[in-house]
Structure 1
């Protein structure tokens, strides 16, 4: 078991001083929690920026799509670009549409199914990027308090050992050691609380973005369904 030296009554009781006086296990826990907290905030900032960009991208695409521009012209504009969001869904559907008619599509049901599947896969790929690393926030939110508690338990155990060795129960002697141990729990909560709040907010925002893309997919599927009926049905009648 590690040993710690109780701080003198007039010692450094700042956060830095308590950290330096802690045992190596508690220090390791604290450093891990600090690193987790920094990474958590990096993810939060990155996701906020990414979601705002995606929301702006969806707004721009909707404006262009419903402006009356022909589907073929819009497809030619976007086909050679790196598209995201609704643009990626649109391009995947149009690509399947064109490939099917180039090969002489005969079954409107089969063509509609392939187009819907292409859009579904495009939405899945987009959501994988948007939801990436959200699981890390959930893990930190649930695990960080217990990791901090582990550091606290170890710190208190070693503090009691040091108290027994010094044969003194004076509050001025006991309090600094207990404070060192409780600092680990505080750092655990400091990492967990923002992670939990951010995870709930970002997961909800991701769901809204997914809902918008799925709504567009349904509307575009209906538009293509009408065009499929106009193109394929006459061929079958002939």
Structure 2
């Protein structure tokens, strides 16, 4: 009867120490990739949570009935979050146009086009910013299994060579050698699976956040268009925009 393999020979540390130098380098690279992807995952989870929480708070202010000017003043001239920054940009363009007197139809169209370009540019930049780091997750998710498989194939080739040199094919000899090779694939999958799940989740979150910005931009442009319509009246109202007209 063949004696069972020593369980101590199958623990991760022993498998790494007994592996070929090429397989060791692959294992180290995969472990580093896994740590890198987890750093991106944690960073993105924190940032998306903060972005959405601040967006909820800002939208609650807009829905409270306060004028947009008051909300923009509270946000400051250079707010960090894109939603109040969009409001500040739109109102700044509106005030600049109003200081020049009444707005004709052509001037109003030019103002709307300028606001549209400014908001689109901001949305594009913010979309790129929230997607930063997703490329790392994509590379780790797609490449890690194949790199781990390469390490496994390389390790099995060396394992068979050692088995042939030893002239012993019993389970005690074969199991540790094969386990060393398969350990590389296990590390590759351990790195790829969380990265794949996180990449899909954060890609969806980034798309939703960009859509949130686009919806707010549409609302801002509609509010400015209503103000342009009111500015042609004999007695134009002050530059305030309650939420019910937003």
Query: What's the TM-score once normalised by structure 1's chain length?
Result: 0.87
Within 5 Å, give how 1:6-21 maps onto structure 2.
10=6, 12-21=9-18
Q: Are residue 155 (structure 1) and residue 155 (structure 2) matched?
A: yes
Q: State the shift of 1:71 in Å.
A: 2.3
Specify the alignment match of 1:188 in structure 2: 188
CA distance in 2, matches of 1:127, 1:26: 39
Work out which of the residue numbers 4, 22, 25 in structure 2 matches 1:28. 25
The residue aligned with 2:130 is: 130
**Is this contact kept in 2: 1:137–1:196, CA < 8 A?**
yes
**Structure 2 CA distance, aligned partners of 1:124 and 1:84?**
14
CA offsets, 1:79-119, max 9 Å, x none? 33433131122122223333344466652111101101111
The answer on whether the counterparts of 2:97 and 2:111 sit within 8 Å (CA) in structure 1 is yes
Show structure 2 runs of 5+ residues with no match. 235-246
Q: What is residue 64 of structure 1 aligned with on the other side?
A: 61
Q: What's the CA shift for 1:130?
A: 1.3
Structure 1, unaligned stretches of length 5 or more? 1-8
The structural deviation recorded for 1:233 is 8.0
Q: Name the structure 2 match of 1:3.
A: none
SS of the counterpart of 1:142?
helix
When structure 1 is superposed on structure 2, of 35-44 and 160-169 the one drifting more is 160-169
- The aligned residue for residue 91 of structure 1 is 88
CA distance in 1, matches of 2:119, 2:45: 25
1:79 to 46, 56, 76: 76
Partner of 1:55: 52
Q: Kindly indicate whether the alpha-carbon contact (under 8 Å) linking 1:148 and 1:189 is maintained by their aligned counterparts in 2.
A: yes
Query: Is contact 1:90-1:119 (8 Å) kept?
Result: no
- Equivalent residue, structure 2, for 1:44: 41
Do the aligned partners of 1:152 and 1:183 also contact (CA within 8 Å) in 2?
yes
Cα distance in structure 1, aligned partners of 2:17 and 2:42: 31
CA RMSD of aligned residues (A): 1.9
Residue 18 (structure 1) shift? 0.5
> Mean Cα displacement is larger for which, 133-142 or 223-232?
223-232
Q: TM-score, normalised by structure 2?
A: 0.85
| Matched residue SS, 2:9 | coil
SS in 1 for 2:93: helix
Q: Distance in 1 between matches of 2:168 and 2:133?
A: 49
